[in-house]
Structure 1
Amino acid sequence: MNQPVRVAIYARVSTEDQAEFGYSIDAQLDTLRKYCELYSRVIVGEYVDRGVSGKSMKGRYELQKLLQDAEKGIIDEVIVWKFNRMARKNIDLIHIVDLLEKNNVSFRSFSENFDTSTSMGKFALQMMGAVGELERNTIVDNVKMGHKQRARTGKHNGKLPLGYRSVKIDVRGRESKIVIIEEEATLVRHLFEQYAAGQGLKAIANDLNHRGYKTRTGKPFSTCSIRDILDNPMFVGKIRYNRYENWAEKRRKGKTSELILVEGHHPAIVSDELWEKVQLLRQKKSTMPKKRFEGEYLLTGLIHCPECGAAMTASRTVNRAKDGTKIVRMYYSCGRFRSQGSSVCHANSVRKDEAEKAVTERIQEAVTNTHILKKIVRSVNEHRLGRIKPLRDELAGVQARIDSLEVKKRKYLGLYEMDEIGRDLFSERLADLNRDLEAELTRRSKLELELRDDQADPISYDLVQSLMERFNTLLNRSPFPQRKTLMHLIVKKITLDDTKRVGSVELAFNEETEKHFLSVAPSADNMAEGAFPLSGKAPSMKRRLEFEL
């Protein structure tokens, strides 16, 4: 007798989908449940990501749980309402389906009526995925075209900078204009005047922070925020647009040559003369040689300030002895102090050689001292066990809030059906409850995923010993660029104590670092780029491993 097909239902809806297309999680689930009932399929799980974009797997906890269950062999088929519920990008969709196929799990789309258990189904998936991505990209291009045309006519796109706000000028709220917030505008003018008078970015940021000013987002001013204000032509009455393409993916590497810079419809905050003077100074300072520190800083970005917790950066002092000899001392200093000044934090400098020596000695001690390594393993396992109860308690609290919200939804539905509340009030309250419910359901998914990881088998002593030995060997053998790469891959955080000495070193190993950097290389002569030469092979990892030295 044939066993029934074990099906996992996956549903997803983003905030944009709900607003623009009216997609409903309940409608997707109801449709797929009826399909499974009609074709005698057994539903072994329903995985629902609510209010999450399909651009990537980040934050999609239910999808991650589904893929884990596929590896366990408890699923035969994954079914979705539409293939774009699984992923927006074709390459991501193919990657997810490939992961399923490696575990003998087929993928089926209800609306497009194909499944990947057949060759034609795989072909249809790739074609439909490409068509779907083309459709999405066309929409994105049309939106960009509209934004560009709006910018060409002198209208602003996106968030407004310090000094401006938008006000509606018609009853329907379709038209608006940009006006000046005089209190903020005064600050902006002061900032430009300070720079024109010869003050540097850090000096201006330090001054503003000491006086208690904040950015539009409520954070202290930094050299970057001051620079962005000084370089923004909106303050002189112009609209600048299209400096970068695909900022979310390419960041500053997406700079374009099709910059739009036109006169805007909004009022200027600074005069043309002041703007031109500041830009002349900005251009002159950009061609000045930047400070370059000699020496190799192994721990930049890893070692953290004991006062504010920010990453510490390279710094140095240069003094002269009585005989005229130059004495250079190298340090790690608080990055926030260097960027935002003494009102935010202090230098809290630590000698470079002392910090690096302390970290490497701490690693060496853990490798050579069996007692310490066993203590680490015991601590890791106890910590993982200790995490389970708080997570379970929080999960119980989340579930209680979910149940309460469901009861409230039924209560308002009953009141509406009995005509005791109007449609507008009912819609408003239902929207509020659904928003709260989605947040709690997402939190529940994340907690369930964390509990699943924490309830895995205990970490073995052999695994930790092997990983630490390889890490230590590579630190001793490798040239500086590889050592720094390895440090940033495996060291999660280095914390200083009150005496500005290394207090703790947090390490984090995962499957990718173990596979590419701590396992055997192909050969000394023919290595993949970035591989580190080392003989032997470490035990295979099943999950991320974190511990403190």
Structure 2
Amino acid sequence: MGQNAIVYARVSTIRQADHDLSIPDQIAHAERYCKERDIEIVGAYVDPGASARDDNRPQFQRMMDDVKSGVIRADMVLVHSFSRFFRDAYGFAVYSRMLEKSGTRLMSMTQETGEGAQADLMRQILSSFDEYQSAETAKHVTRSMIENAKRGFWNGAAAPYGYKTIIVERHGNKDKKKLDLEPQEAEIVKLIFQLYLYGDGKTGPLGIKNLVSYLNGRGVKNRNGKPFRIQHIQEALRRSAYIGTHYFNRTESRTRKPRPREEWVEIAVPPIVEESIFHAVQAQLDARNPTMTPPRIASSRILLTGVAICDSCGAPMRTRTGKNGQYWYYTCSRSADMGKTGCAGVTVPMGKLDAIVTDALCGQVLQPDRLEYMLGSLLARNSGRRAAAQARLKELKRERRELDQKLEMLTDALEKGVPLDTVKTRITQRQNEREQVNRVISFVNREIDSPLSAVTPAKLEAFSKGLRARLQEGGEPGFRKAYLRLLLDNVAVAKDRVRISGRKDVLAYQLTAEKPLPPSMVPTFVGEWCTRHDSNV
């Protein structure tokens, strides 16, 4: 009675490191091998694009389960070489032993080992050599890719959303690529950051879930034509490439563990988002992260918790009470925990510090003339962005005209008798492209129509007066705390002075928003303006 076999075939995901036979070649070789030896093939399992360094391979796991459970019975599992089965000596030993316990032996078409103790030893030696060879190959490939990255080239992976790869050099038969902007996607990236930080002028800032709903509800598609998901937006908002720097070699390829910062390789790429906007988004993401901002701080009505810090050591200021809760103070948390050896610290009556901060904001920052001075450069930059957006709009309209012409030509072809099946796919593709261009045009129009260009002295005066009235003592506590967290980066408290830092672009967008931000939508931002209030506190 003839023997039977299961064929297992695999190729690696690391194409640069694996020049072995393709899947069809491995299967064809197995069929010839079995035909010559009168072996019947009773099953085949294929993992296209899977590393043999571990068992994270769907078809490999299915094969092992089928053999162990008796779903399929075979005398042998046949592989082109033992490295197709495993490139890790320990894994090789464990899984080959599992097969043996099920009455199935592991056989290689190109590495005959025979049977018995000597065969077992030979297989162990071969698997150890495969592991060593895999590690050496990976090391050399990694070194080559790092050198490639240091020279500013892109290492073959799919370009991040907002970018495309372009060939910039050719070395022999290898193309050297760099990232370039993909204009339509880049506009959507800008929109994502704007919506998260400011909203569209009507909604207020959008959280990630609402941002996904906003994009999908307007028919904006991801690169693969599918709707956006929460993970896509989370990754986009953290991607440093959007401000001009991509980092290669951040994680270990096998374990995905982070590498030390000094091992990262910086690659300069075309920026999409302004640095100030990107860093403001990072601060807001951190502020909304419950592991970084405790709920008791976010929900407390005490004005400066989570904002006030000790100027001496940088530790947060916390509250304490005196005389059975009759008096409240802000005090250095490090000094409170460790005593004067931790920090000499400072303790300030709560009402006094609250008044110093709100008085400084209302008296120095939120005065109309001061607002006009601070926001002048921002409004000038916005004017430059509008000019760039207008040029981009002109290019988009040209693209739309070209698509209209292509659609007209395809329609003419139908009228002249060309079968629908011949042009249907191209018509659908051109219609989708035109729809996407129209969406981007609407986004660019919104940028051109930004309300930042409509700031008048009267609007400055009304904004200043209204916000000062609500921030001063007697205003609604929740609103006061929410807007202080919006406007302030930190309040550094020393014994003889208080230094207050915050962002002026936040002021600008609050000034021009159609609706004021509700407290639940208020983020925390990195500082960009600074005022100092000297006081004997």
TM-score (ref. length: structure 2): 0.44
